[in-house]
Structure 1
Amino acid sequence: MPRFPHPTPEDLRRDPLPLRGRTALVTGASRRAGIGHAVARRLAAYGASVYLHHHVPHDAAMPWGADRPEEVVASVREALGDPDARVLAGPGDLSDPAAPAELITTAAEALGGRLDILIANHAVSGSDGTLDEIDATMLDTHWAVDTRAVVLLVQAHARLRPAGPGGRVVMMTSGQDIAGGMSGEIAYALQKGALASITRSLSTTLAGQGITVNTVNPGPVDTDYLTGEAYEAVAAAFPAGRWGMPDDPARLIAWLATDEAGWITGEVINSEGGFQR
């Protein structure tokens, strides 16, 4: 018997529903044009039951606006691969220090008492600027939502989920450490950089519970926030001549949630389509 046996032919055949029976929470999923929605659809297509977190007032105040939660839920339900899986949704203002733990509990209870997968996709838009423009309020706003809330979500997830294989955490960063940086979004870049920096520490902490922790940089993704010449200039910076679409990072994130990615943890992974900064 070899010490490290090869997978059997059956093991090598791809399961069309690799997340059947698993449950997932996706935060920041209030727009069908967003990455959160695309990730939720992929998880649902793979067989998972999904709870969608939204904070409609945030997106409603932005130029792109917000969708109705029931529209987002209906779109994700259309993708369900397992007829027994469920798609549910609920609100949460993650600037409230108590909200992350409450959201984890609510999502787990709604999905049958267990939560396997946490996709921390939410972030604050706006309230930012250059080094000369930022102030304490901007920094505190981004810290509370973009970083503090994510770490508290991970903490609550780890406390609630029984130890065992299949636990997943995926956080989102934003390429702030790559050439060029983000000099016009200092508060956002700072807090997203903190998530990239803590990835390895969290993965080491949670390895014994069977939870992997990875962070994805999706690169520039067309979520309907830019148009005109600026949009075309960004598109030209990709070798393929187009922006990333929400499903581009969603495919990677959903794969990280499967057993195929069980040996990948503590990594910050760029999914930028060769973007030239």
Structure 2
Amino acid sequence: MIDPHLAEATALVTGANHGIGRAIALAFARVGVKLFLSWHIAPPRYDATQHTAARETGSGGAALYDANQQNPGEAVLAELAAMDAQAAGMPADLADPAAPAALIEACRAQLGAAPDIMVVNHTHCVLETFDPALAEVKGEFPLALVSAEEIDRHMQINARAFALLVCAYTSAYLAREAKWGRIIAISTDAASAHAANISYAASKHAIESYARSAAAELGKYGITVNIVAPGPIQTGYITPKQAGDIAAGTPLGRVGEPEDIADVVVFLASCQARWLTGQLLYAGGGWRMPQ
């Protein structure tokens, strides 16, 4: 096994209560990273009976994804404790502009150090469209006409929170005269344009711009900033039919799993990635690969 030289480093991972964020936390723990997790649990769209049924069948779709989103962050902290990992965490609503600085300070207070590594994984996603005809289509995932409220929510939680997290991280980094740092943003392979998911895509594209600007400005301090753009990852939302279609259109012949992205993130945090910054790494098994 290649040693990433991350033992005793401290990492902040947002959106860490399920899916990709949880997988990132577990992957870091395996290489000796101390972890501070954040999570936010939105009101469920389905009731407990529907969640239980979705978990029992294991069949992907809106109900299972909603159930997974309700996973308490404390459950992931318990998994980390079982691995003898040093970890702490707290819920945080990143729509609040005060939350980013509060997370950095809580990490410092509870783990004894501000984060060396910051993975901005959390996301807000409500399907929106410009097309009234699409908004009238009844499907498993509701689709609404674009609204000022949801434009603002996507930009606040996704893009603005990323920028404020970078500011808070950098201030703490410089205050302790650190020489080595990593910022990793989780975007999407559809950030440049995503029909029927337009505000989400736009907010992710904004994150990518912020990340590249941060890479240009912060490299002189020893901080690398990179972006991971996952393809379809089974975090619960992909139905069996969709999984078959995705696998057929993917050169590696399957749907991605959260662990596939977690391993990419560990690499970008490692010493082996020391010469990479400002990069957008597509991680989708060849999905959307130009041909």
Q: What is the TM-score of this pair, normalised by structure 1?
A: 0.86
The residue aligned with 2:186 is 172
The residue aligned with 2:202 is 190
**Gapped regions of structure 1 (runs ≥ 5):** 1-12
Q: Which amino acid aligns with 2:187?
A: T
Taking a change above 3 Å as real, the CA distance of residues 221 and 155 of structure 1, as seen in their structure-2 partners, is same
Residue 88 (structure 1) aligned with residue 92 (structure 2): no
User: How far apart are the structure 2 equivalents of 1:259 and 1:235?
Assistant: 33
**Pairs aligned (count):** 255
User: How far apart are the structure 2 equivalents of 1:209 and 1:60?
Assistant: 44
Residue 68 (structure 1) aligned with residue 67 (structure 2): no
Cα offset for 1:58? 5.3
Preserved contact between residue 27 and residue 121 of structure 1 (Cα < 8 Å) = yes
Q: Which amino acid aligns with 2:71?
A: D
Preserved contact between residue 163 and residue 208 of structure 1 (Cα < 8 Å) = no
User: How far apart are the structure 1 equivalents of 2:178 and 2:219?
Assistant: 10
Taking a change above 3 Å as real, the CA distance of residues 96 and 49 of structure 1, as seen in their structure-2 partners, is same
Taking the TM superposition and a 5 Å limit, the aligned residue runs for 1:1-277 are 14-15=2-3, 18-31=5-18, 34-57=19-42, 63=63, 64-65=66-67, 66-79=70-83, 85-126=85-126, 128-132=127-131, 133-161=145-173, 162-176=176-190, 181-276=193-288
Q: Which amino acid aligns with 1:171?
A: A
Cα offset for 1:235? 2.5
Cα offset for 1:60? 7.4
Which whole-Å deviations, capped at 9, do the CAs of 1:25-54 have from their partners, x for residues lacking one?
A: 0000112xx000111111111111001101
Q: Which amino acid aligns with 1:35?
A: I
Cα offset for 1:160? 0.5
Between 1:55-64 and 1:114-123, the stretch displaced more is 55-64
User: How far apart are the structure 2 equivalents of 1:275 and 1:67?
Assistant: 28
User: How far apart are the structure 1 equivalents of 2:202 and 2:211?
Assistant: 15
Which whole-Å deviations, capped at 9, do the CAs of 1:94-143 have from their partners, x for residues lacking one?
A: 001111111111112211132101000000132x3112310111110100
Q: Which amino acid aligns with 2:107?
A: A
User: How far apart are the structure 1 equivalents of 2:128 and 2:281?
Assistant: 26
Q: Which amino acid aligns with 2:111?
A: L
The residue aligned with 1:7 is none
Aligned-pair identity in percent equals: 35
User: How far apart are the structure 2 equivalents of 1:238 and 1:163?
Assistant: 45
Which whole-Å deviations, capped at 9, do the CAs of 1:212-235 have from their partners, x for residues lacking one?
A: 100110111000112132332222
- 2:128 alignment partner, SS class: coil
Q: Judging by fraction of residues, say which structure has more helix.
A: 2
- 1:141 alignment partner, SS class: helix
Which whole-Å deviations, capped at 9, do the CAs of 1:47-98 have from their partners, x for residues lacking one?
A: 1100110112356777322112222112233445xxxx51112110000111
User: How far apart are the structure 2 equivalents of 1:40 and 1:60?
Assistant: 26
Q: Give the aligned CA root-mean-square deviation in angstroms.
A: 2.0
Taking a change above 3 Å as real, the CA distance of residues 156 and 60 of structure 1, as seen in their structure-2 partners, is farther
- 1:56 alignment partner, SS class: coil
Q: Which amino acid aligns with 1:157?
A: Y
Preserved contact between residue 165 and residue 209 of structure 1 (Cα < 8 Å) = yes
Preserved contact between residue 124 and residue 142 of structure 1 (Cα < 8 Å) = yes
Following TM superposition, the consecutive aligned residue runs of length 4 or more in structure 1 with deviations greater than 6 angstroms are 59-62
Taking a change above 3 Å as real, the CA distance of residues 156 and 259 of structure 1, as seen in their structure-2 partners, is same
- 2:42 alignment partner, SS class: helix
User: How far apart are the structure 2 equivalents of 1:123 and 1:101?
Assistant: 18
User: How far apart are the structure 2 equivalents of 1:29 and 1:219?
Assistant: 19
User: How far apart are the structure 2 equivalents of 1:163 and 1:50?
Assistant: 21
Q: What is the TM-score of this pair, normalised by structure 2?
A: 0.82
Q: Which amino acid aligns with 1:233?
A: D
**Gapped regions of structure 2 (runs ≥ 5):** 47-61, 132-144
Q: Which amino acid aligns with 1:73?
A: L
User: How far apart are the structure 1 equivalents of 2:199 and 2:226?
Assistant: 22
User: How far apart are the structure 2 equivalents of 1:136 and 1:255?
Assistant: 38
